[in-house]
Amino acid sequence: MSAKKKAQANAPAAVLRVHLWLEAGGGMLFGLGRVQLLELVERLGSLNQAAKALGMSYRAAWGRIKRTEQALGEALLVKASGRKGYELSDLSKALLKDFAAWHQEVEAFALKRAKERLPWDVQPFSGPAAGGAGGGEPGPAKS
C-alpha cells in the first residue's frame, strides 16, 4: 500500500475551506464579509437591517461600505427610489456576480490541487459559498 493510500485510510475527512479577499492600501477592499453585507442589503433593502443580521453596528457596516466605495471611486449603494433604504448600484451587482464566479474558480482549482498533492480525500465545502448570504463563514462578517 502506498504512503498516500495508507494516510487516506487513517485520515479524518478533510474539507476544503477557502477564504479570499482583496486588499488595497494596506486595508480591506472586498471579501466575503462585504459580499454578505451587500447581499443582505439587496434582500432587506436596509443597511441597518443587514448590519443587525450580521451582528454588527450600522456605523461599522457604513464604514466598510464607504472604505470600499472610496477605493473604487464609485458608489456601492444608492438610495432606494420612492422609499427609505438602499439598493445595490450596478457596480455592486457586477461585483457580487464576478466575486462569486472568481471564488468558485479558485475553490475548484484549490480542490483539484489538494486532491493531487495531499494524502487525504479532500472534499469541497458544502455550506454557503461566496455569492450566497452566509459566505461560508460562521459568525459576524469581518470584511
Q: Which residues contact 87 (CB under 8 A, 6 or more apart)?
A: 41, 42, 45, 77, 78, 79, 80, 81
**For position 9, what pLDDT does the model report?**
64
In the chain, what's the furthest Cα-to-Cα distance? Answer: 69
pLDDT tens per residue across span 36-59: 999 999 999 999 999 999 999 999
| pTM, entire model | 0.78
CATH number for 3-9+22-120 (one of 3.20.20.70, 1.10.10.10, 3.40.50.410, 1.10.1040.10): it is 1.10.10.10
pLDDT in tens, 68-124: 999 999 999 999 887 788 999 999 999 999 999 999 999 999 999 999 999 999 999
Closest CA to 96 of 49, 54, 35, 141: 35
pLDDT above 70 for 133: no
DSSP string computed for 57-92: -HHHHHHHHHHHHHHHTS-SEEEPTTSSSEEE-HHH
User: Residue 67: which residues within 8 A CB-CB, separation 6 or more?
Assistant: 27, 28
Please report the pLDDT score of residue 22 as a whole number: 94
